[in-house]
Structure 1
C-alpha cells in the first residue's frame, strides 16, 4: 500500500493526471527517452491542460524513466503561446505498457513539426560488438550513411531507421544524399562501446542549412554473464501507437520536476 501511495503521489505532481494503482500481476511500465530535434524552436508542454514543461530546448536528450500506461491530452506550443495555438496536439493518447521507446520531436521531410515514436532494440549484442542505429528525422531527402567513405546504410528516408551490430570501437561516419557523394552532414567520430546501442538522429532542415545530429546511448546490452539482460518482448514487430507521445512527455515532466527512483520487481 505504501508503494502504491508513492506512485500515485508521483504522478499527481508530475503529470497532473489521475493514476490507477497497478496490481502485482499487471504489465510493467514503459521505459521512455525524449529527443528534441526541431532546430531553433524551444517549446512549452501542456499535459491535460496544465503546463508541465517550460522552454524545453532543441538538441536535448532526456530520460529514460519508467512510467505506467494511461491516457493523456498533449499540447506543444511555442514558449508563452496559449494551448489554442499548438505546434503539435495529441488528444487522449493511449500509453502502452512494457515498451522501450524514444519519442522524437522533429521535422517531416517537407519541414513540418511532428512527433515520431521509435521502439528501441535493446536485445543483447554479441561479445565485442556494439549496435549502431541511424534515424532520419530531418527535413531532407533520402540519404546514405557512410563509414570510412563507404555506404553502410543506403536510401534512408524520413522517418525511418537503419541499424546493425558491428565491432566495438571508433568509426568516422558522414551522411550524403542517396546515391551521390554530396555531403549533407559532415563526418563525425563515433565511439561505439561494447554492449551498447548508439542511436544517431539526423535532425534539422536541408533548406535552412540547419542539418545536424543528436546522439543517444543505451547501455547494458552485453551478452556476457556480467551484462544486464533486457529485451523488447517482441515490441519491434508491433505497430507503435501515437500514445507513446504522451508517455514521453510525462517522462520529460518528471525529469523537469526532479530525479525519481523507481523500485523494480526482479523476476526469477
Structure 2
C-alpha cells in the first residue's frame, strides 16, 4: 500500500482522548500531519506507498504530530495481520487514497481520518487544520462528522448553535470565548430531538485549538476522539454517545478549509514499527 513516509514519529501512538501538542510553527518546506483512527472495532495496519508505516493501529487512537515532506502519497489501510507484511501493492488496501494517491502541500497542517461513512462503508478523509489565531481570551473549536450517522447540529447549551446540518465527512471551525460549555450533538431534523452525544462540562482554554472527531457506531456507541494544538489542553469529555462534524456550515465563526484533496500520513525516513506501537527515527 505505501512507501515509507513516516518521518520523525518518535512516540508511541497515543490512546484516544485528550492528546495535546504545543502550537505548531508551520514550515515552508514541510506539512504537519495528524492521523485519527475512527473506524469502530477494527484494528488496522497502515501502508504508505506500499510500505508498512503503522502496525496494530487501534480504534480511537491518534498519532502524534509528524512533519511530512510535500508530495504525492498513496495510503492504504488493511485489517491488522500478525505478522503484517512489510510491503503490499500500492492501492490494494481495504480502503485509502486509491492508487492515484493524494497530494500534500508545505506550510499546511492536516488531519487524516479513517472512519465509516453515513452508510457504514470505510473511507479515508483528509481535513485541513485551521490554525488561525483565535484572538485574546478565545479558543478555536473544530468539529468533524466522522461517524456512521446522518446530518447533525452541534449546540452549546442552552441555545447557541455552533454548526447546523453537518454531514458525514465534513466539519467546521468556530471561535468562542474560553470557558466551560455543555456541548450536544443532535441529529438534524429529528422530532422529538435525538441527542447523539452529550459532552457536559467541556473546558475550552484560551489560545488552544480543539479538534473533535465523531466516533461510532457500526456496532457500538457514539463518542468523541479529540486532540488539541496549543499551549494548554482543557478537559474534553468523551460524552455519552457520539457524533461531531467537520466542514459543514458553521453558524458562528469561519468555515475551515475542510477536506481538501491533500492526504498523506507521516514522511519518509526510516520507520520502526512494533505491534501496537509506532516509533520512528529521523
TM-score w.r.t. the length of structure 2 is: 0.69
SS of equivalent residue, structure 2 residue 133: coil
Residue 203 (structure 2) aligns with? 191
Residue 228 (structure 2) aligns with? 217
Q: Choose the corresponding residue for 2:214, options 192, 196, 202.
A: 202
Q: Choose the corresponding residue for 2:99, options 62, 83, 91.
A: 91
Mean alpha-carbon deviation: is it higher for 49-58 or for 123-132? 49-58
The 8 Å contact of residues 95 and 247 in structure 1, kept in 2 or not, is answered as: no
Shift in Å, 1:53: 1.6
Using CA pairs below 8 Å that are at least 6 residues apart, which structure has the higher relative contact order?
2
Residue 110 (structure 1) aligns with? 119
Alignment length, in residue pairs?
Answer: 222
- Between the aligned partners of 1:91 and 1:183, the Cα distance in structure 2 is 39
Judged with a 3 Å threshold, the aligned counterparts in structure 2 of structure 1 residues 237 and 148 are, in CA distance, closer, same or farther, namely closer
The 8 Å contact of residues 34 and 265 in structure 2, kept in 1 or not, is answered as: no
Residue 235 (structure 2) aligns with? none
CA distances 1:8-47 after superposition (whole Å, capped 9, x unpaired): xxx97947xxxxxxxxxx9410011111111111101122
Instruction: Give the gaps of 5 or more residues in structure 2.
Output: 8-26, 233-255
SS of equivalent residue, structure 2 residue 54: strand
- Between the aligned partners of 2:155 and 2:177, the Cα distance in structure 1 is 16
Q: Choose the corresponding residue for 2:184, options 156, 174, 181.
A: 174
Q: Choose the corresponding residue for 2:166, options 152, 156, 163.
A: 156
Are 2:279 and 1:257 aligned? yes
Residue 131 (structure 1) aligns with? 140
Judged with a 3 Å threshold, the aligned counterparts in structure 2 of structure 1 residues 27 and 187 are, in CA distance, closer, same or farther, namely closer
Mean alpha-carbon deviation: is it higher for 195-204 or for 86-95? 86-95
Judged with a 3 Å threshold, the aligned counterparts in structure 2 of structure 1 residues 107 and 12 are, in CA distance, closer, same or farther, namely closer
- Between the aligned partners of 1:198 and 1:137, the Cα distance in structure 2 is 16
Alignment of 1:7-46 (within 5 A): 14=6, 27-46=28-47
The 8 Å contact of residues 173 and 188 in structure 1, kept in 2 or not, is answered as: yes
- Between the aligned partners of 1:36 and 1:250, the Cα distance in structure 2 is 21
The 8 Å contact of residues 44 and 76 in structure 1, kept in 2 or not, is answered as: yes
Would you tell me which structure has more helix in proportion to its own residues?
1
Judged with a 3 Å threshold, the aligned counterparts in structure 2 of structure 1 residues 250 and 156 are, in CA distance, closer, same or farther, namely farther
TM-score w.r.t. the length of structure 1 is: 0.72
Judged with a 3 Å threshold, the aligned counterparts in structure 2 of structure 1 residues 209 and 46 are, in CA distance, closer, same or farther, namely closer
Pairwise CA RMSD: 3.0
- Between the aligned partners of 1:249 and 1:136, the Cα distance in structure 2 is 26
Judged with a 3 Å threshold, the aligned counterparts in structure 2 of structure 1 residues 52 and 178 are, in CA distance, closer, same or farther, namely same
Judged with a 3 Å threshold, the aligned counterparts in structure 2 of structure 1 residues 140 and 248 are, in CA distance, closer, same or farther, namely farther
SS of equivalent residue, structure 2 residue 73: strand
Shift in Å, 1:97: 1.9
Judged with a 3 Å threshold, the aligned counterparts in structure 2 of structure 1 residues 194 and 41 are, in CA distance, closer, same or farther, namely same
Residue 146 (structure 1) aligns with? 155
CA distances 1:74-98 after superposition (whole Å, capped 9, x unpaired): 3211011774772214324233222
SS of equivalent residue, structure 1 residue 194: coil
Shift in Å, 1:250: 6.3
Mean alpha-carbon deviation: is it higher for 93-102 or for 107-116? 93-102
